[in-house]
Structure 1
Amino acid sequence: MATLEQNLQQMLQGSVEDLGCELWGIECQRAGRFMTVRLYIDKEGGVTVDDCADVSRQVSAILDVEDPIADKYNLEVSSPGLDRPLFTLEQFQRYVGQEISVHLRIPMLDRRKWQGKLERIEGDMLTLIVDDQEQSFALSNIQKANVIPKF
């Protein structure tokens, strides 16, 4: 069964692309009876406030018609930022060689949070270099991942 995020991704992807943006990812977070639906959009040259507003209007109209969310929700649209979250295998592949952080669903070696250089991806396994040691993680065990920006 598909998650709400997957259903929304499928429902909204084409409309976001029609506006000249890439739908980078979707996060749904529940707080009590309310939910926040956060869309991350990206495009060549960067995302503007107008891009976010245009996508927000378009997505709001679609969600009003399709009504895929049973609860009350707030819609947020933003760029992924410098510390962009990583959602898909393809996105991880773009950042091989860079520092990332991962938060695991199931701890490994008594740790849920890991940070290191993304060394390689083989199948659905990611390998990070952490303290000069290789650590491999199944993509399915990664709850959240972000790029660590370099300044």
Structure 2
Amino acid sequence: MAAKKKGKNTAEAVRELVQPLAAALGLSLWDVRFVKEGADWYLRIFIDKEGGVSIDDCVDMTHAVNEPLDTQDLMQGAYTLEVSSPGTNRELTRPEHFAACLGQPVWVRFIRPFADGSREVIGTLCTCEKDAVTLKNEQDETMTFALTDTAWIRLYDDDNLGGNEDE
């Protein structure tokens, strides 16, 4: 299974490799990211399960993926493996994320500001079809926008805002 050294193709190749390993542990694979930060590469595997992820789940997943990752050699060079929960402010990036979060509050940051100058909106996720998302705000007004207009979309949990706001 050949993959590019970095970027989406590597993350997708890793996703295909580790998905069955997560399932065997009773976990769902939320996301895989292969990113460069400074001079270092990070392979981040985000796992989830009903009732939440424990440190033991992360350790078990780490042990399960180490050998297959080394054997398949999907990444050339050194990288740091991180296995964790996506957290309460998890980013929605895949169709299955949006489907799982319908009816829940989300926080959207747009690439460009609206006419009123704001770049963020919070609302209830109503639909996500192909390339468009529809939210309903507190005034019960709907808003539809293209996914390509967003910097990110995350579950909204006002008790845990912060940390990754500037990504």
TM-score (norm: length of structure 1) = 0.81
- Give the secondary-structure state (helix, strand or coil) at the position aligned to 2:50: coil
Alignment of 1:34-113 (within 5 A): 34-104=40-110, 107=112, 109=114, 113=120
The alignment status of 1:6 with 2:12, answered yes or no, reads yes
- After superposition, the Cα gap between the structure-2 partners of 1:64 and 1:36, relative to the gap in structure 1 and judged at 3 Å, is same
2:135 maps to 128
Whole-angstrom CA distance in 2 between matches of 1:49 and 1:68: 26
Moved over 6 A (4+): none
Q: Which runs of 5+ in 1 are unaligned?
A: none
Q: Is the 8 A contact 1:116 1:130 kept in 2?
A: yes
2:164 maps to none
- After superposition, the Cα gap between the structure-2 partners of 1:129 and 1:86, relative to the gap in structure 1 and judged at 3 Å, is same
TM-score (norm: length of structure 2) = 0.74
- Give the secondary-structure state (helix, strand or coil) at the position aligned to 2:26: coil
Residue type of the alignment partner of 2:106: I
- Give the secondary-structure state (helix, strand or coil) at the position aligned to 1:72: coil
Q: Where is the strand percentage greater, Structure 1 or Structure 2?
A: 1
Residue type of the alignment partner of 1:49: I
Residue type of the alignment partner of 1:125: A
Q: CA RMSD in A?
A: 2.6
Larger radius of gyration: 2
Whole-angstrom CA distance in 2 between matches of 1:102 and 1:71: 35
Query: 1:46-74 CA distances to partner (integer Å, 9 max, x unpaired)?
Result: 21111100101111211111111123211
The alignment status of 1:116 with 2:123, answered yes or no, reads yes
Residue type of the alignment partner of 1:122: E
Q: Is the 8 A contact 1:86 1:92 kept in 2?
A: yes
Query: Cα offset for 1:37?
Result: 1.4
Residue type of the alignment partner of 1:38: R
Whole-angstrom CA distance in 2 between matches of 1:111 and 1:72: 41
Q: Percent identity?
A: 32
Query: 1:68-116 CA distances to partner (integer Å, 9 max, x unpaired)?
Result: 1123211111112211222321221222222212345x54647764433
